[in-house]
Structures are given as structure tokens and as C-alpha cells.
Amino acid sequence: MRAIAVSEYGATPSVTDLPLPEPGPGEILVKLVAAGLNPVDWKIADGMLKDSVDAAFPLVLGADGAGVVESVGPDVGRFAPGDQIFGQFRDLARGGGSFAEYAVIDQDAPLARMPQGLIYSQAAGVPLAAMTGYSMVHEADLDVGKVVLIVGATGGVGQFAVQFAMNLGAHVIATAHPDMDAEMRRLGAAETVDYGRADIGEQVLANHDGIDAIIDLVSGPQEVDALTGLLRPGGAYVSSIGAANPDKLASQQLRGVNVHTPGTPELLATIADMLDASKIRVAVSREVPLEDAPAAIAANRQGGARGKTVIRI
Ligand SMILES: NC(=O)c1ccc[n+]([C@@H]2O[C@H](COP(=O)([O-])OP(=O)(O)OC[C@H]3O[C@@H](n4cnc5c(N)ncnc54)[C@H](OP(=O)(O)O)[C@@H]3O)[C@@H](O)[C@H]2O)c1
């Protein structure tokens, strides 16, 4: 089967021919139709987890995907051949991932039935970004009328976070360059701030004397320190890149949370229900064939994401 893999950490991802994997006890073989690209895919290829996980090489990249169950191993009760599913297919110990024609994965991995009305390329863009956006909004403890700044709102996680926050009745301020202003408002932002034009904090304070939460997908510790001054006492700073310092924030009567999203089947099913009910939608900004995935991965490193990049398999 064709797959996008690296031969070692730090190697350039390339189209690779690999043997078809076989499902063992409790495992399913899935024929993937589409895969979703996330920044963590190239971070892992670079070696982000090399000291904590023993990965097998060649290592197929990608976690998010959508497809059809081809066959099941012994003791599988959760899925049957023909089921249309989406979710996370990364298996570092086996060298498995979603940028491949087939993947074998444990039936208890974060997998769920395909949301109604979504095509595979849309469903493949959902799992990590939506589960992370959901977790960050939950950690921010939002409610009707609370004011939240979302930094990095135009990317994969950010676009879901905007929608989850809006659904809770929060007043959402989204960072966005002018080309994304209208789209951010359609997703539920009440205001946008353009970080390319002026300091984000100054733009927020022009309309608010303080805010209740910051959900931040991009800022490092120094920028976090600078934005912390926007928060009212009791406010929350939620980072997806480990940049919040909970102890330091606690000393300022604030709450700091660094989210790590170990996806679960239950959370993914909740998100599938919200997609079914049209409470959220997925924004796929770019679709490429499998052989162009290495170029798409290189482009993702450069930033400028406008929603999700999806790989057609
Ligand atoms: N902890 C976890 O479990 C977890 C889970 C998922 C993701 N993450 C991490 O969270 C980060 C975001 O993920 P993602 O999938 O949303 O990435 P993404 O799709 O690449 O989106 C990032 C967005 O941030 C914008 N941006 C860049 N610099 C900015 C700045 N200074 N101010 C405001 N916006 C800025 C980018 O657009 P412009 O460049 O045009 O501004 C882009 O729209 C990544 O580092 C990822 O690895 C962590």
C-alpha cells in the first residue's frame, strides 16, 4: 500500500510502499478515504516524542482520518466490515498512521461512526482539532456573557474553539487577519482583532475593561505574560502548546491550564452528535492527493492555516 512515511526522525516525508497491515485480536483494518493534517504530525516526524515513545520505522505520518472498516480481527465487537468511521489512527509502536491507504488500529482507539451528512474529507478534518477545541473551551469554564479571547482562531483548533465558545453563549474575540474577518464572524465571533495591525492586548482593551478567559493556540511564555494582564481576577489562561504557567498565574488569582488532548471515543461521539445537529461545522481550506502530502506538510510548517488541510487517499 502507498503511505507517507519517514525512515527516521528528521527525515523528509515521502511516498513509501509498505506491506498491508493485518488486524490482530481487538483490532480493525480500515481502508482510509481521507486523512487530516495537524501540526503535531510534522512535530512527531521531527522527533518530538523520541524520548518518550518507542516508535517503529518506517513511520507512517498522520493521526486523523476517515474511511471504511475492511476487516476485523478476533474479539472485535465494536465495529464490523463496511462501517463508515472517522477518528485517530496513529500507532507509533507499530509505525502506523492515517496518511496511508490502510491502517490497523485498536477498536478502543478514539473512533466513532461518521457524522451524518459529512463526506470523508470533511470528517477527516475533525478529530484532533475539534477534540482540542472542545477541551480548551471546557477548561476555560465559559458561560453566557463571558468574554473570551481566542489567539490563533483562524487555524484548525481555533475555528472549532470559536464555535464551541459561541454555542455556550460566550462573547468571542477572535484573532484574524482581514481576509478571515467575515468567516470568523460567521463561525460565531462577536469581534476580531488583527495581530498584524497592532498589539492584540491594546485592541482588546479598546472595547473591554477586562476579559474572563484566553484560549491560546500560538503564544509562547513571553506573549502569555503580556496577555495575562487582560484577565479579570478568577480568569483562565488555556494554552495548547504548554505555554501557561499555572503556579505563576495562581499567584495572580488566575487559573492556568495546558491542555493535552488524549482523544477518547466518547468525546469524538459527542462531537459527531454536534456535527449531526449542525451546532458546529468543519472548515476544510485545502484538499490534496496523497502524493502531494509531503508538500502540504511543508506548507503547514510555514503557518497561515485557514482551517484544515485534508489529504485524499
Ligand atoms: N496540546 C494538544 O493536545 C494540542 C492539540 C492540537 C494542537 N495543538 C497545537 O496547537 C497549535 C495550533 O494547532 P492548529 O491545528 O490549530 O494549527 P494551525 O491549523 O496551523 O493554526 C494556527 C493558526 O494560528 C495563526 N497564527 C499564527 N501566529 C499567530 C499569532 N501570533 N497570533 C494569532 N494567530 C496566529 C495562523 O494563521 P497566520 O499564520 O496567518 O496568522 C493559523 O491560522 C499547534 O502548535 C499544535 O501543535 C496542541
Does the beta carbon of 63 sit less than 6 angstroms from any atom of ligand 1? Answer: no
Where do the H-state alpha helices sit in the chain?
39-46, 120-123, 127-139, 156-167, 181-187, 200-205, 221-228, 246-250, 265-276, 293-301
Please report whether residue 205 resides in a domain: yes
Dihedral (CA of 143, 144, 145, 148) sign:
positive
- What pLDDT digit, counting tens, does each position of 34-69 carry? 999 999 999 999 999 999 999 999 999 999 999 999
Write out pLDDT tens, residues 136-184. 999 999 999 999 999 999 999 999 999 999 999 999 999 999 999 999 9
- On whether both 151 and 245 belong to a single domain, the answer is yes
Query: Do residues 236 and 298 share a domain?
Result: no
Q: Which of 282, 289, 288 is nearest to 307 (CA)?
A: 282
Contact criterion met (CB below 8 Å) for 157 and 136: yes
Reduce the DSSP state of residue 105 to 3 states and report it. Answer: strand
**Can you tell me the mean pLDDT for 251-255?**
98
Strands (E), 152-305: 171-175, 191-193, 211-216, 231-239, 255-258, 284-289
Q: What is the pLDDT of residues 102-135, one digit of tens each?
A: 999 999 999 999 999 999 999 999 999 999 999 9
The whole-angstrom separation of Cα 65 and Cα 313 is 10
For residue 252, what is its C-alpha cell? 495572580
d(CA 50, CA 30): 27
**188 & 202 share domain:** yes
Do 166 and 119 reside in the same domain of the chain? no
Residue 270 lies in a domain: no
Tell me if 289 sits within 8 A of 312, measured CB to CB. Answer: yes
Residues 189 and 254 both lie in one domain: yes
For the CA of 261, the nearest atom of ligand 1: 3
CATH of the domain at 90: 3.90.180.10
Q: Are residues 240 and 140 in the same domain?
A: yes
Domain contains 225: yes
Q: Does residue 164 share a domain with residue 135?
A: yes
Q: Is 305 in the pocket of ligand 1 (CB under 6 A)?
A: yes
Residue 198's Cβ-count burial label (10 Å; 0-12, 13-18, 19+) is: exposed
Counts for the chain of helices (H) and strands (E), in that order: 10, 16
254 shares a domain with 136: yes
pLDDT of residue 284: 96
Residue 303 Cβ < 6 Å to ligand 1: yes
The answer to whether 34 and 124 are in contact (CB under 8 A) is yes
Which tens digit of pLDDT belongs to each residue from 255-281? 999 999 879 999 999 999 999 999 999
209 and 295 in a common domain: no
Mean pLDDT score across all residues of the chain:
97
**Residue 264 belongs to some domain of the structure:** no
The protein residue with its alpha carbon nearest to ligand 1, atom 18, reads 155
DSSP state letter for 176: -
Residue 251 and residue 161: Cα distance in Å, rounded?
27
Q: Tell me the CATH number at 246.
A: 3.40.50.720
Q: Are residues 153 and 113 in the same domain?
A: no
Joined together, the cell numbers standing for residue 13 give 516525508
The residue among 14, 66, 20 whose CA lies nearest residue 45 is: 14
Please report, rounded to a whole number, the percentage of residues in the chain having pLDDT higher than 70.
Answer: 100
Q: How far apart are CA 129 and CA 305, in angstroms?
A: 12
In a domain, 291, yes or no: yes
Q: Is the CB of 242 under 6 A from ligand 1?
A: no
Residue 293 sits at φ, ψ, to 5 deg, of -60, -40
- Residue from 149, 157, 267, 297 to probe ligand 1 pocket by mutation (most atoms less than 8 Å from CB): 157
Quote the number of domains for the chain.
2
Q: How is residue 290 annotated by DSSP?
A: G
Helix (H) / strand (E) element for 71: namely strand 64-72
CA-to-CA distance for 42 and 40, rounded, in angstroms? 6
94 and 56 share a domain? Answer: yes
Residues of the domain holding 86: 2-126+282-312
What's the confidence (pLDDT) of residue 305? 87
Structure confidence at residue 44 (pLDDT): 98
Query: Is 58 within the bounds of a domain?
Result: yes
Q: Is 36 in the pocket of ligand 1 (CB under 6 A)?
A: no
Residue 91 belongs to some domain of the structure: yes
Kindly report each contact of residues 246-255 with a partner whose C-beta sits within 8 Å and lies 24 or more positions away, as own/partner: 252/228, 254/228, 255/141
Residues 110 and 194 in one domain: no
Cell 502530502 -> residue: 293
Residue 268 inside a domain? The answer is no
| Strand pairing report for 64-72 and 84-88 | antiparallel
What confidence score (pLDDT) does residue 144 get? 98
